[in-house]
Chain A
Amino acid sequence: MKKLAAACLALTALAAGGCGSSGSASGKTVVTFANWAAAEPATAPGIAAMIKKFEALHPKIDIKSEPISFTDIEHQLVLEVQSGNPPDVAELQGNYLYTLAATQDLQPLGGYGSGAFSKSVIGSELKLGELGGQLDAIPWTVGPIGLWYNKAVMKQAGLKPAPPATWDQLLSDAKAIHKKLPKVIVLGMDTTSREFALDAAWPVMTSFGAVPFSGTTSTADTPAMQSYLSFMRTLAKDGYTPEGQKTGFFRQPAASNQVAFTVDGPYVKGVAQSINHVSDQKFYQTWGVARLPTGSAGQHYSTPTDHQLVMFKNSANKTAAWQFMQFLATSQYSVLNYTLKYENSIPPLASPPAEVAKELDNPITKSFVKSIIPEVIKPAWGAHYSAAYLDVMAGIQKAMTSSEPISSVASGMQTSLKSDLGS
C-alpha cells in the first residue's frame, strides 16, 4: 500500500512538473525559444550570452532555449504545432515562414510591430515578414546571398583578385584555379536535397532566365533551364564543385584558404574567424564579396537568407515574448554582441546608432548593403515550395551526377513538378 502511495505521489509530481510551461517554480515567466543559433558551434556562445543579458535586464523573465538544427527546425515546429505545444518564439528563415503560416498558428504581429518598432526597422525587411498583408514575422538578421571570392587563392592561380562579372568568366577563372591548385575547391554551392539549397540556387537559375515553377505552375522544361543545368553539369564534371554538399560544408575549408569562391550569406566571416582566429583586417585582405555573376539574362540577382522571429498564437506569454523578440532584433547590445560579432550578418536597423554604424563600416558589409541587397529577389516561396523543392534539387543533382541528356533532365523535372504541384 505504501509503495502504491509513493508511486502515485511520484506520478503526480511528474505530471505537475510537466504541466504549465509558462511559469517556473520561482514564479518567473518562462519564454521558450526554438532556434538553430544555439545548435551551431559558431553562434551558440553568442546566443547564450544574449539570453543571459536579457534575463539580467528582465529579472522576471526566463528564456528557455530549444536548440534545433537548421535542417530540422521547419518540420520540428510543424510537429510541435500539430501536437499543441509550439514554443513561444521561434527563429525562421526563407520558406519556413510560409510553411508555419500555413498552419494558421502564427501570432499576427501588427499590433506589436507598429509605431516605433516599424520605424526603427528597414521597411523592405519588415515587408519580408508580411504574408497576405499581415505581419507574421519580424526581421532579426539580414543576410543576402553573394559570391565570396578568395583574393589570396586567385593571386596564387595567377588571376587578378577581382570577382567575375559573369558565369562564363567564373568558369574561365575556375579553369585557371583548378589547373594551378587542383586541391582547392573552386566553387562552393549547396546542391543538397534541402529547401535552403533551392533558396541558394534560385538567383543563379534566375540569372540564366530559368524559373522552375511559379505558384502551382511548373515551368522547368525551358531552354533557359537547360542552359542552367548545363552550367551545373560543367561545374561538376570539370571538378569545380563537389556535388551534394551543403553551404556550411564549404565554410571550414574556406577558413583554411582551400576554397576559391563560395555562394553564401554573410556568415562566412563569422564561421571562418571562429576557426582560424584571424583579425578583421587580415580577413578583408583575403576575402571579398560581390554580387552573383550574371548569366544570359544579363542581370545580377540575390536571395534573402534573413533570419526572422515569429511568435505562436498558443503563447501564454506574448508580452514577454515580444520583449525578447525586440531585444534580439533591434537592441544595440544584441546587434553589437550577436548579429555583428557572431553571425556577421547585417542588422535590420533603418538608422543604426553611431556605434553600430562604425562596425558596419567595413568592405564586406558595404558590399552587401550597397551592391547585393538591391538585387534581392524572393524565390517562389509559399505553401507549394515545400512540395516542389525536392523535384528541382533532384533534377539539378541528376544534371550534375549523370550523363542523361540535359533536355531529358529538364523534362523529367517538369513532369515531377507537375505531379507534386497538382498542375
Chain B
Amino acid sequence: MALPALLILALVIGYPMVAAVIVSLSHYSLLSPVHTFAGGANYSQLVHDPVFWQSLKNTAVYTGVSVVAGLVLGLLLALALERAAGPWRAIRALLLTPWAVPVIVVAFLFQFMFTTPGGIINAALLKAGLIHSALPWLTSPALAMVTVIIANVWTQLPFFLLVFTAALGGVPDEVIEAARVDRAGTWSMVFGIKLPYLRSAAVVGALLMIIQNFNNFPLIWAMTQGGPAYATSTLVIYVYQLAFTSFKLGYASAIGVVWLVLLLVIASLFIRVMRSDRA
C-alpha cells in the first residue's frame, strides 16, 4: 500500500538528494562538459571558505531571531486576542493578511520602505526626532540584517498567531475555571496554566519556521541580494550565487549537503523534545 508513495518520495526527494551528494564529490562546473571526481576537495574548500562561515552565521542569526521574534509576538497577540469579541475579531483577520501577501511583494514593499534616500521609515523616524540623519537600512552591514529580519517577522507573524490561537482553543475550560476559582492572577494564568498547553504547538511551529527560514531565498534576494558585502548572505543565497553566477555546481552541492545535514540534526532534536513531551 505504501509502495506508490515510497516510489514518488524516492523519485522526488531521494533521487535529487543522492545526485546532490554525488555532484558534491565532483569538480562540476556548469561551464564545462567534463566533470572529474574530486573526493572531499569541495568539503575541504568549505572549511577554509570565510564566506561559507559568514553565511552559516548569518543563517543562524536570521533564522534564530526571526523564529524567536515571530513566536513571542505571535503568542502575545494570540493571548491578547483570545477573548476578542464582536468587532474586535476583525483585528485577528487583519493580522492574518501579511500571510496572504506573496513573499516577493513583501520584499519589494519593505525595500521601498527602508530605502535610503526616500524611504518612509527614515522619513517617519526623522519627523519623530528619533534620528538626526537617514539610516542606511539596506546598505549598512549591521542594519541590513535587521531590515530583512523585520520583513521576515512581518510575514511569519500570522503563522504563529494562528498556531497559538488554535492551541489556546484546546486548553480545557475546566482547567481555566479551576484556576479562576483559585483566584489565579493573569501572570499565573498565562505562565502556569496556558503556556504548558502551548508547548507542543510552539515546538512544531518553531521547527516548521526554522526549516522555512533556512530555505528563505526570495525575501533576502529581492531586498539585498545577500549584500552588502555578504552581510545578509545566508546559506541558500550563497549556494544560489555559487551555482548560478559562479557556475560551481560541485561546491554548491557540497554546501547543500552540509545544509541538509544541519536541518536533519535540528529536526531530530525537535522530534526528541516532542517525544519527551508525549512521554
Q: Are B228 and A397 in contact (CB under 8 A)?
A: yes
Interface size range of chain A in the complex? 20 to 34
Alpha-carbon distance A416/B33, docked complex (angstroms): 26
Does residue B31 face the partner (Cβ distance < 8 Å to A)? yes
Query: Beta-carbon contacts of A179-221 to B below 8 Å, as 1s and 0s?
Result: 0000100000000110100000000000000000000000000
Q: Are the CB atoms of A243 and B228 closer together than 8 Å?
A: yes
In contact, A394 and B247 (Cβ under 8 angstroms) = no
Do the beta carbons of A183 and B117 come within 8 Å of each other? yes
Among B26-65, those with CB < 8 Å from A are 30-33, 45, 48-51
A416 to B241, CA, bound (A): 15
Contacts of A394 in B (CB 8 A): 51, 227-230
Min Cβ gap A238→B in Å is 12
Tell whether A102 is near chain B: CB-to-CB under 8 Å: yes
Pair B30/A401 contact, Cβ less than 8 Å: no
Q: A242-B117, A244-B224, A419-B45 are in contact. Are A386 and B245 (CB under 8 A)?
A: yes
Considering the chains assembled together, what is the distance between the CA atoms of A183 and B134 in angstroms? 12
Contact between chains at B244 and A415 (CB < 8 Å): no
Interface membership of A75, Cβ < 8 A: yes
Q: Within 8 Å CB of B98, what residues of A? A: none
Interface residues of B in 116-153 (CB under 8 A from A): 116-117, 136, 138-141
Q: Mark A403-418, 1 if CB is under 8 A from B, else 0.
A: 0000000001001100
In Å, the complex CA distance between A285 and B218 comes to 43
Of the candidates B116, B224, B231, B245, which one forms a contact with A75 in the assembled complex, judged by CB atoms under 8 Å apart?
Answer: B245
A169 at the interface (CB under 8 A from B): no
Contact with A along B221-260 (1 / 0, CB 8 A): 0001111111100000000010011111000000000000
**Which B residues touch A244, using CB under 8 A?**
138-139, 224, 227-228
Residues in A whose Cβ lies below 8 Å from that of B116: 242
Of B33, B48, B228, B230, most buried by chain A (CB within 10 Å of CB) is B228
The contact of B49 among A103, A242, A243, A419, by CB within 8 Å, is: A419
Q: Mark A71-107, 1 if CB is under 8 A from B, else 0.
A: 0001100110010000000000000000100111000
- Restricting to B86-138, which residues have a CB under 8 Å from any CB of A? 116-117, 136, 138
Closest to B144 in A: A401
| Inter-subunit contact A386/B241 (CB<8 Å) | no
| Chain A nearest Cβ from B230, distance in angstroms | 6
CB closest chain-A residue, reference B143: A401
User: Is there an interface contact between A398 and B49, defined as CB atoms closer than 8 Å?
Assistant: no
What is the minimal beta-carbon distance from B140 to any residue of chain A, in angstroms?
A: 6
A386, A401, A412: the one contacting B247 at CB < 8 Å is A386
Measured CB to CB, the nearest residue on chain A to B246 is A387
CB atoms of B32 and A102 under 8 A apart: yes
A244 and B244 CA atoms in complex are apart in Å by: 20
Contact A401 B141 (CB under 8 A): yes
Compute how far the CA of A80 lies from the CA of B56 in the bound complex, rounded to whole angstroms: 31
Cβ-defined contact, A402 with B48, below 8 A: no
Interchain CB contact under 8 A, B48 and A390: no
Q: Closest CB of chain A to B79's CB: distance in Å? A: 40
What residues of chain B lie closer than 8 Å to A401, measured between beta carbons?
136, 139-141, 228-229, 231
Contact (Cβ within 8 A) A103 B228: no
Docked-complex contact A242 and B139, CB < 8 angstroms: yes
Q: Are B247 and A99 within 8 A (Cβ)?
A: yes
List the A side residues contacting B241 at CB < 8 Å: 193, 390
- Asked if A195 and B245 make an inter-chain contact with CB atoms under 8 angstroms apart, the answer reads yes
A66: chain B residues at CB < 8 Å are: none
- Chain B residues with CB below 8 A from A415, complex form: 50
| CB < 8 Å neighbour of B136 from A82, A243, A395 | A243
A420 within 8 Å of B (CB atoms)? yes
Q: How far is the CB of B55 from chain A (nearest CB, A)?
A: 12
Given contacts A75-B245, A244-B139, contact A398 B117 (CB under 8 A): no
Contacts of B45 in A (CB 8 A): 419
Q: Determine the distance from Cα of A195 to Cα of B32 in the docked complex, in whole angstroms.
A: 20
Contact indicator A416/B51 (Cβ below 8 Å): yes
| A383 contacts partner chain B, Cβ-Cβ < 8 Å | yes
CB-CB under 8 A from A242, the residues of chain B are 116-117, 139
Residue of B139, B140, B244 contacting most chain A CB atoms (<10 Å): B139
Contact call B227/A383, Cβ cutoff below 8 A: no
> What is the bound-complex CA distance between A236 and B138, given in angstroms?
13
Q: Which residues of B contact A360 (CB under 8 A)?
A: none
Chain B hits for A104, CB < 8 A: 33
Taking a contact as CB atoms under 8 Å apart, the answer to whether A78 and B228 are in contact is no
In angstroms, Cα B247 to Cα A383, docked, is 10
Neighbour of B48 across the interface among A397, A412, A419, CB < 8 A:
A419
Knowing A82-B30, A104-B33, A416-B51, say if A397 contacts B229 (CB, 8 Å): yes
Give Cα distance in the complex from A103 to B247, angstroms. Answer: 11
Name the A residues within 8 Å of B49 (CB-CB).
Answer: 419
B141 and A398 contacting across the interface, CB-CB below 8 Å = yes
Which residues of chain A from 351 to 392 have a CB within 8 Å of any chain B CB?
383, 386-387, 390
CB nearest to A98 among chain B residues: B31
Partner of B245, one of A236, A243, A390, A397: A390
Residues of A within 8 A of B31 (CB): 78, 99, 102-103, 383, 386
The answer for the CA separation of A395 and B30 in the assembled complex, in Å, is 26
Residue A272 CB within 8 A of the other chain: no
User: In the complex, A416 Cα to B49 Cα: how many Å?
Assistant: 8
Nearest CB in chain B: distance from A419 CB, A = 6
The CA-CA distance from A78 to B49 in the complex, in Å, is: 25
Given A192-B227, A386-B245, A402-B140, 14 more contacts at CB 8 Å? Answer: A75-B245, A103-B33, A192-B225, A242-B116, A242-B139, A244-B138, A244-B139, A386-B31, A386-B247, A398-B141, A398-B229, A401-B231, A402-B229, A419-B49
Q: What are 5 residue pairs bridging A and B, where the CB atoms are less than 8 Å apart in the complex?
A: A193-B227, A400-B228, A401-B231, A415-B50, A420-B246
Complex A-B, nearest 8 residue pairs according to Cβ-Cβ distance, in ascending order: A398-B229, A102-B31, A397-B228, A243-B139, A397-B229, A75-B244, A401-B228, A394-B229
